A and B are shown apart, each in its own frame.
Chain A
Amino acid sequence: MKKEYDVAVIGGGPAGMASALAADREGASVILLEKDKALGGRLNQCIHNGYGQSIFNKDLTGTEYANKLIELINNSCVEYLLNTEVTEISLDKKISCINFGKRFQINAKSIVLSTGCREKAFDYLIDKKGIYTAGQAQRIINLEGKKIGENAVVLGSDDLALIVARRLIYEGAKVLCVVEPAPYPSASIKNISYCLSDYGIPLCLNSHIQSIEGEEKVEGVHIVTDTKNGQKKEFIPCDTLIVSMGLQPQYELLDKLNIEKENLTNTAVIDQKRQTSIEGFFLTGDALIIHSSIADITFEGEVAGKNAALYAKEQSESKNSISVEVESSDLIEYALSHNNIISVKVKSSNLIEYALPQRINTLDHKVKIYFRVKKTLRDARLDIFSQDELIYAKKFVVISPEELVEAEVNIQGVKGNLTISMEA
Chain B
Amino acid sequence: MEIVCIMCGAACALEVKEKKGLLEVKGNICRRGEVYGRKEYINPQRTVTTLFPIKGGGFVPCKTSLPVDKELIFDVLKAIKSSSAPKPIKAGKVLIKNILGTNADIVATSNVY
Contacts and interface: CB of A to CB of B under 8 A. Distances in A.
B16 to A, nearest CB: 14
Given A61-B109, A64-B91, A64-B110, A145 B59 contact: yes
Given A48-B49, A49-B49, A63 B29 contact: no
A399 interface: yes
Contacts of A197: 4
Contact of A61 (B5, B29, B46, B61): B61
B51 A142 contact: yes
Interface in B37-70: 46-51, 58-59, 61, 63, 70
B47 A47 contact: no
A400 B12 CA distance: 13
A47 B109 contact: yes
A364 interface: no
Interface residues of A, number: 29
Contacts of A44: 110
A67 B110 contact: yes
A79 interface: no
Contacts of A189: 4-6, 8-9, 11
A192 interface: yes
A157 B11 CA distance: 16
Given A49-B47, A145-B51, A398-B9, A170 B77 contact: yes
Nearest to A399: B9
A49 B6 contact: no
Contacts of B1: none
A406 interface: no
A193 B6 contact: yes
B22 interface: no
A47 B80 CA distance: 15
A264 to B, nearest CB: 24
Contacts of A49: 47, 49, 63
Contacts of A190: 6
A127 interface: no
Interface in A53-71: 59-61, 63-64, 67
Nearest to B8: A398
Contacts of B49: 47-49, 61
Contacts of B103: none
A61 B63 contact: yes
B60 to A, nearest CB: 9
Nearest to A167: B50
A122 interface: no
A2 B16 CA distance: 64
Interface string A229-253: 0000000000000000000000000
Nearest to A44: B110
Contacts of B102: none
Contacts of A125: none
B4 A63 contact: no
A403 interface: yes
A198 interface: yes
Interface string B1-29: 00011101111000000000000000001
Contacts of A124: none
Contacts of A64: 91, 109-110
Interface in A384-399: 397-399
Interface string A186-211: 00111011100110000000000000
A376 interface: yes
A13 to B, nearest CB: 15
Contacts of B70: 198
Contacts of A398: 8-10
B111 interface: yes
Interface in A11-68: 44, 47-49, 59-61, 63-64, 67
Interface centre among A145, A192, A402 (most CB of B within 10 A): A145
B33 to A, nearest CB: 12
A180 to B, nearest CB: 16
Instruction: List the 4 closest pairs (A to B, CB-CB), nearest first.
Output: A400-B9, A47-B61, A398-B10, A63-B110
Given A188-B6, A398-B9, 4 more contacts: A61-B61, A145-B58, A188-B9, A189-B4
10 contacts: A60-B109, A61-B109, A63-B109, A63-B110, A67-B110, A67-B111, A145-B59, A198-B73, A400-B9, A400-B11
